[in-house]
Structure 1
């Protein structure tokens, strides 16, 4: 090899040249782990190789490849010393060839180093872009998962709220009536019969509301509005009289006062108002049995409905509140842009006040948590 590749004026390729060639090229295998170290090693060995008088073109590929790796993996400020070393070795190789002039050797060094630098910098920009795209894709994936978890949690809360409103009210009525029937079982058959009738009605009503809620949860993609399942409209203030009668049958005196002219409400607002009234009266039945309750529907403000349920019972119990009733009512109020205040009244008893905006919902638009429901007729003065 040494004798075949021999130029006049240069030293013959011998064992020393072979060792230096290996030292200049073998470190390239580790250039991605330590690119700057490999580059400086290659430049040093090649400069030594040229100083000993060997043919320059044999080992110039190593520094240029190492320079490309440095530019591709290191920032510009770090790569500048490596570029200077590469240009210096390339310039030196041109100078030892007598056919090159000073300017030709300088141009060769600058062009070769610049080409290696540009290719490496382009590869680094592409790698940075790919990393940013991967990070963005991962962020979008996490955001989608977070939204999905949030949607599932919101749906669970909505279902739990509906279950609580349906089950708690009717089971409270059934419990009170069952206790009353057991108490007067041997002495007042008429009262027992009335209590059993109330239990039957409450059971049927609870089953009907559960069926309606499950039907809405099972709406298919082909019938997204739930109009083909035959379920009745969701309860609203139009059924307030039925609710009041059940509470009265359970032994609580309830008076209903309507201020202003009743008017149709958007379906979600109507359901919210009914559920708050239902939960408030159920709490009176559970915690203030024997008290009197007053329900006030105030339509006096053009774009707002205020519902107040007050009783003359002992007020809120001492200690931390338990259950999900008040929390569920507040969530409903916030969902429809309203507010709810509950607490012990100054003169005794407990008061729940709900304030809701009652803007008209355009046809075809459905409010949050309401699927295919129609507004119930307004409540009638009692």
Structure 2
């Protein structure tokens, strides 16, 4: 089986797995315990936080481990909302956020919050003007993802963040898809909080992190919590944190190398499908603001679900969108937000590349995809 679904999850790297096993043996204590074994775990946890915080230009004391990127999203938003005045109950977000946040914001609407869902342009971009036009006197928080997992679109969070900082409005960004793939600097990016995840960067599943800048006041979702400075209850998974940090360091060191690799593969794919432009449409083919490892494709006349199953039959793992929405009959929400009709949106498939993806594997996949289309 050739794996082409890296945007959904990645396999653990050998280094990350080795670090996990070493930490599980040597730093198994509860990091909150006061004895020496607990101290070993605490120091391992501290070193892991420092390594990850350094990657984003932050302070390790502001980094809080969570059970996933989705949980990091929800805890970061709710903690920030708990810290602002109740009158600041207007939130600005987008129609193309990850399902963990989109559904959470929908719930907040039933709890007295006013939420504005910004519609992207036809390329999936959210402009600064769009954000400014929605700001009200009672706007307290804006949340805009850095990179979309289905479209591969990158938002200009630095420019948006600078504008919001000047107005004293809190800014959160879901950086789960971009962490380790794009440079992120929490201070230069003018973000108050970001969310990241381990299993997107060849680390273990079941651990993510939220970073909240010292300038942003927050209050715990569950009062009385002692772990992670009150941010999240429960004993911290120190081995997973150490493995997360190892994976983060490795992917950071190879960021430029990976980008070059993905751009070459993307160019190869574009060239290969050029004779089939009437059937295969690569969304945002000419856009600069994209994650090059995500190839969102619409195949005219064939449903993505059928193509995904056929590709699987031939030994290729691809997807029809975010793994967090698998099982839902509706087409990807991000495509509908672009103005693509429902029938066309159901003809979408996503190919996502990883560091292990070889040119010959992508070539083999492309030939298979074309063969399936020609014999449909």
TM over 0.5: no
TM-score, with structure 1 as normaliser: 0.24
If asked which structure has higher relative contact order (CA below 8 Å, sep 6+), I would say 2
Q: Report the structure number with the largest CA radius of gyration.
A: 1
More helix by share: 1
TM-score, with structure 2 as normaliser: 0.24
